[in-house]
Structure 1
Amino acid sequence: MQILRTTSENNDFQDLVKNLDAYLAEMDGDDHAFYDQYNKIDLLKNCIVVFENEKPVGCGAIKPINENTMEVKRMFTLPEFRGKGLAVSVLKELEIWTKELGYEKTVLETGKKQIEAVALYKKCNYTIIPNYGQYAGIENSVCFEKIL
């Protein structure tokens, strides 16, 4: 496994995000348009692509939301590569990068239907918090934070 720090201009990152968006469109159904508006990647400066045997198989990103908090975005692993710990590796690398940049915590939102994602964040010691920002009051969202 190799981990690459990059930006959203990276073609492998963009291709993985296309796969993620297709997956989420199916999972979220009618709610997809609401979530999609908050997941544009054109301004992401801190992105990760994970490779297995030189094939891009997973990704994630962080973006600042205030002076001490980064938001984890665009976490995805190709279905055939799940269960190998790749998402945990991406998340840990994003946390390390967050700390290197001087931020104190990470937050994120995922859908309640994303059972695997919810389990991943709990496994990685994220705590459920009240829905923040645009997710406040959204029934299908669950938000997490981790103090680093």
Structure 2
Amino acid sequence: MVDFSPYKLTLVKDEDSIALIQVIDSCFKEYEEEGVFIDLEDLDADLHAMRTKIDQEKGEFWVLWDNHTPIATVGVAPLSTQLCELKRLYMLSRYRGQGIADKLLQLIEEWARDHGAAEMTMWSDTRFTRAHGFYTKKGYQKQPKTRDLNDLSHTTEFEFRKQL
């Protein structure tokens, strides 16, 4: 297991919805001028009951805490026997640059390998260029494929993949 001290890593509970929304909304606000908004009625409705959602997907999801403050989220779910998907890696801006995201990636990649996956996929909003640089540095390769989510933020996402 990856060491996150002095922070506390917990498995998500449905009761963590406010914490998840706080972290993700904070990240989205960094792109508000570019039209990125949290959409709790549609695309982001899963945040209201993430434990239920991730259990349905047979995956796992964590929240990282600094005392009682949620600071990061990350999840992973299998798409097939060999492929897992990284889900919702978000971190409050003041905690970035400390290696925490590296550890969160290590956590979900270990989970994926332990569950038989040989490859990880993930999708990222085309406007999240800082995140793209991070994923590329960690061995994820941007794919030619994109998808449009037809959501409130008019999101188009890039796919990234990494061999585990």
TM-score by length of 1: 0.77
1:29 maps to 2:35 = yes
Instruction: Give the Cα–Cα distance (whole angstroms) in 1 for the partners of residues 131 and 121 of structure 2.
Output: 14
Does 2:156 match 1:140? yes
How many angstroms apart in 1 are the aligned matches of 2:136 and 2:8? 23
Structure 2 Cα separation of the partners of residues 86 and 27 of structure 1: 27
The answer for the alignment partner of 1:123 in structure 2 is 137
Runs of 4+ in 1 over 6 A off after TM superposition: 136-139
Quickly say closer, same or farther: Cα 1:38–1:53, change in 2 above 3 A.
Answer: closer
1:50–1:86: 8 Å Cα contact kept in structure 2? no
Deviations 1:21-73 (Å, cap 9, x if unpaired)? 4533626627866xx62772341140122344664321100112222211111
**In structure 2, C-alpha distance between the alignment counterparts of 1:72 and 1:22, rounded to whole Å:** 20
Are the counterparts in 1 of residues 148 and 156 from structure 2 also a CA contact under 8 Å?
A: no
What residue in structure 2 maps to residue 15 of structure 1?
19
Aligned to 1:43: 53
1:38-117 paired onto structure 2 within 5 Å: 40=46, 41=50, 42-45=52-55, 46-52=60-66, 55-117=69-131
Q: Mark the runs of 5 or more structure 2 residues left unpaired by the alignment.
A: none
* Percentage of pairs with the same residue: 21
Any gaps of 5 or more consecutive residues in structure 1? none
Task: Output the CA distance in 1 between the equivalents of 2:27 and 2:12.
Answer: 22
Q: Rg larger in 1 or in 2?
A: 2
Q: How many residues align?
A: 143
The residue type equivalent to 1:29 in the other structure is G
Q: 1:105 to 1:74 in 2, by over 3 A?
A: same
TM-score, reference length from structure 2: 0.70
